[in-house]
Amino acid sequence: MKFLFSSGSLYTYGIERCFGFAAGAGFDGIELMVDERWDTRQPAYLQQLCDRYHLPIHAVHSPFRTVPGWESGDVAAIKQTVALAESLDAGTVVHHLPRRVGLIFVTMQGRRHIVPSPGRNPSRAYHDWLAGGGYQNLQKTTDVTLCIENMPAWRALGRRWNGFHWNSPEALTRFPSLTLDTTHLGTWGLEPADVYARWRQRVRHVHLSNFDGQQHCLPLDGHLDLGRFLGALAADGYAGNTTMELRPPAVGAGSSDSQIEQALTANLRQCRAWAGQA
């Protein structure tokens, strides 16, 4: 099992600093989050960073929304992400489930929130592509593994609700290759080890973080039993990648670089111990 650092964990920082933190903490590689920064989408520059920090990019995450210079739409974004992954010799592309309603991003009191937007569902074409033969056909044309990700519950009026198609442990088994996201399971009150026992052979990639009411906390900060989960992966001989995917405040964004690196190092050390790598 290789442990990766998601560049999305510090999307408020430059991409090279993400490589620097990952190298300093001792990660095995990078999961690249494609976003508005051109640096996340230029293979020659990214390969320079890989060489400079001795960290390969093992996985690429399709962007959440349209980015400059790329064709719009979820299907086009996934295809372009696959092409980027191929150019970097990355073996995995992570992508999300289609939304049941439109979304907008709003910032309140310094925090970014995702809220539903009434009107036309922008994911209808994406839903139909996944349900039809387009998704399977794309997978047949590439050696990159397409791994669709379980998504979180949204909270409204004190209740959980589901904003995504096929977003349940049962429905997701329609897809052959899954990204198991631990904090997203936590929003549903589910333990990762229990869901892994049901998905097992379909889990080809992992997003690792804890949950304490906030998503994407450091592995040591939350109530999910990540030790039991990583132990189960190790016992099964899981050979895929496990990406520490965090939110910037959880990493300590804005504090000194040494504090950020120390937090990542301590949490990675514990994850390796849980996985029997200590």
- Which pLDDT band, with edges at 50, 70 and 90, does 161 fall under? confident
121 confidence band (pLDDT: 50, 70, 90): low
Tokens standing for residue 182: 């631990």
- In percent, the amount of the chain with pLDDT more than 90 equals 85
- H-run or E-run covering 205: strand 203-208
pTM: 0.92
What domains sit in the chain, N to C, each tagged with a CATH number?
2-274 (3.20.20.150)
pLDDT, tens digit, 9 for 90 and up, residues 200-220: 999 999 999 999 999 999 999
The least confident of 105-119, 143-157, 162-176 is 105-119
Q: What are phi and psi of 99, to 5 degrees?
A: -80, 150
113 close to 106: Cβ distance less than 8 angstroms? yes
Could you report the per-residue pLDDT of 34-57, keeping only the tens digit for each?
Answer: 999 999 999 999 999 999 999 999
Q: How far does Cα 233 stand from its chain's mean position? A: 18
Dihedral of CA 248/251/257/261: which sign? negative
